[in-house]
């Protein structure tokens, strides 16, 4: 069996069609989109077309799309941009305990500047209840940021319901849709969101590029000053090739999303059912409101890191949570927020499937993991197998 990549929530390989669409903009069409001559006009044209594509896929208008360097910048821009633009209206921001650190740390960074932050709890499946959001809202709440689906446990949040509550209250609502772009239908009208961020490299596009939807009439204080690009909301010469790649990747994902979700859900459930046969194993996240490609389990009496090293020896690339926290010994803030103990959370394993995943790969993984789990448990002083 050749190498198996099961970490698509961390990043995805770029599709050939995406690379092909991008290549001219690294070569003959190298112009600066702000220039008036032919090279510039053609680069500008490519940007316009990409913006139209992204806008259409989100049910938005072209002038509501801001191109960014990815999901982290999108979250930072939405949160800090709203905070600085509307601070005279109020200084209270609401988010959840299971957000990606791009959101969580952006919100928390504002505390130093006198903002008041409410971090909402989640239930044992990782769901934020709309009622909890409603209770947290105050007259001075200017922004609520709740992710569409979680990158570690795959739980999909009731964004539409939460959005309706936030809108009714008169605050702005941002959702981090990095894990759902290209997977679920993202119509910003249906979702009741004012701001939505996404990233190309999570959907078979290039790294270092993304988009932020910002509803017409919503002001954003820019993070990056120095030019009139992106309607004065983000200065800097546009990443034309990257933006073209993002639009292409989104377009392809949309075309294939129905059939691919069905295929992945079948593989996901085969993997979950197989892993559940291992004793003292817990599946994390909702089994109902779940991304089609996410499997997250805890094996009691095992360290996630030793599991990963053993899987790597068998040619399987996986994660113990998020790519951002591996390398640190802290257990996942997501699993802790869901009520898992430190000890159990340490034994977590995330397998995220993708376009390359086959049934043969799932069966190989299901053949190797029980052996590794048993071997590691035999070495654990806590395990009485
Ligand atoms: C990957 C990820 C991000 C960060 O996106 P980048 O483009 O890597 O900066 C933000 N939120 C979620 C949910 C993610 O999975």
105-109: long-range pairs with CB below 8 Å, 24+: 106/75, 106/76, 106/79, 106/80, 107/79, 107/145, 109/80
pLDDT of 385 reads: 64
Q: Look at residue 383 in the predicted model and tell me its pLDDT.
A: 86
Residue 56 DSSP code: H
Q: Among residues 233, 252, 271, which one ends one of the domains?
A: 252
Asked if 125 and 265 sit in the same domain, the reply is no
Whether the CB of 202 sits within 6 Å of ligand 1: yes
In testing the pocket of ligand 1, which one of 11, 104, 199 has its CB within 8 Å of the most ligand atoms? Answer: 199
Task: Return the CATH number at 120.
Answer: 3.40.640.10
CB 141 within 8 A of CB 94: yes
Distance (Å) from CA 68 to ligand 1 centroid: 12
Does ligand 1 have an atom closer than 6 angstroms to the CB of 92?
no
* CA-angle at 154, arms to 149 and 156, nearest 5°: 40
Joined tokens for residue 83: 């905070």
CA of 11 relative to ligand 1 center, distance in Å: 9
User: Do residue 189 and residue 282 come from a single domain?
Assistant: no
Rounded to an integer, what distance in angstroms lies between the CA atom of residue 272 and that of residue 257?
A: 21
For ligand 1, whether the C-beta of 99 sits within 6 Å is no
Q: Are residues 191 and 81 in the same domain?
A: yes
Compute, in angstroms, the gap from residue 102 CA to the centroid of ligand 1: 7
Rounded average pLDDT per 10-residue block, the chain, 385 residues: 93 98 98 97 98 98 98 98 98 98 98 98 98 98 98 98 98 98 97 98 98 98 96 97 98 98 98 97 97 97 93 96 56 96 92 98 98 94 78
- The pLDDT, as a whole number, for residue 382 is 81
**Is 214 annotated as catalytic?**
no
72 occurs within a structural domain: yes
Q: Please state the domain count of the chain.
A: 2
Query: Is residue 213 assigned to a domain?
Result: yes
| 303 and 369 assigned to the same domain | yes
Decide: helix, strand or coil at residue 304.
Answer: helix
The answer to whether position 385 is within a domain reads no
User: Quick check: pTM over 0.95?
Assistant: yes
290: helix, coil or strand?
Answer: strand
CB 12 less than 6 A from any atom of ligand 1 = no
The catalytic residue among 131, 287, 324, 371 is 324
Instruction: Count helices and strands (H / E) in the chain.
Output: 13, 12
Task: Tell me if 346 CB under 6 Å of ligand 1.
Answer: no
The ligand 1 atom at the shortest distance from the C-alpha of residue 72 is 9
Ligand 1 pocket, residue 222 CB under 6 Å: no
């Amino acid at each position: 069996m050749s190498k198996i990549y099961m970490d698509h929530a961390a990043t995805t390989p770029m599709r050939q069609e995406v690379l092909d669409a991008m290549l001219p903009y690294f070569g003959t069409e190298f112009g600066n989109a702000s220039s008036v001559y032919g090279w510039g006009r053609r680069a500008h044209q490519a940007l316009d077309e990409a913006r139209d594509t992204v806008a259409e896929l989100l049910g938005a208008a072209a002038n509501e799309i801001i191109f960014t360097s990815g999901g982290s910048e999108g979250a930072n821009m939405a949160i800090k941009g709203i905070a600085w633009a509307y601070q005279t209206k109020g200084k209270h921001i609401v988010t959840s305990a299971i957000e990606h650190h791009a959101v969580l740390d952006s919100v928390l960074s504002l505390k130093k500047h006198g903002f008041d932050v409410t971090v909402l709890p989640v239930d044992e499946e990782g769901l934020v209840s709309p009622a909890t959001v409603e209770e947290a809202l105050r007259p001075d709440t200017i922004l609520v940021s709740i992710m569409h689906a979680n990158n570690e446990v795959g739980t999909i949040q009731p964004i539409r319901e939460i959005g309706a509550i936030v809108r009714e209250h008169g605050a702005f609502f941002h959702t981090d849709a990095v894990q759902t772009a290209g997977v679920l239908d993202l119509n910003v009208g249906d979702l009741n969101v004012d701001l939505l961020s996404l990233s190309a490299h999570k959907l078979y596009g290039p790294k270092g590029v993304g988009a932020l939807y910002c509803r017409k009439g919503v002001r954003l204080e820019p993070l990056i000053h120095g030019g009139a690009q992106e309607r004065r909301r983000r200065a800097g010469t546009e990443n034309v090739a990257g933006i073209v790649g993002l639009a292409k990747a989104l377009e392809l994902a949309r075309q294939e999303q129905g059939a691919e979700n069905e295929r992945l859900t079948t593989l996901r459930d085969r993997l979950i059912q197989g892993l559940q046969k291992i004793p003292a194993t817990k599946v994390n996240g909702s089994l109902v409101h779940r991304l089609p490609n996410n499997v997250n389990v805890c094996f009691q009496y095992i360290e996630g890191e030793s599991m990963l090293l053993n899987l790597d020896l068998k040619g399987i690339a996986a994660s113990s949570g998020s790519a951002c926290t591996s390398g640190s010994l802290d257990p996942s803030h997501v699993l802790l927020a869901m009520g898992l103990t430190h000890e159990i959370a340490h034994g977590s394993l995330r397998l995220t499937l993708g376009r390359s995943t086959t049934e043969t790969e799932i069966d190989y993984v299901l053949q190797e993991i029980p052996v590794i789990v048993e071997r590691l448990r035999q070495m654990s002083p806590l395990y009485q197998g």
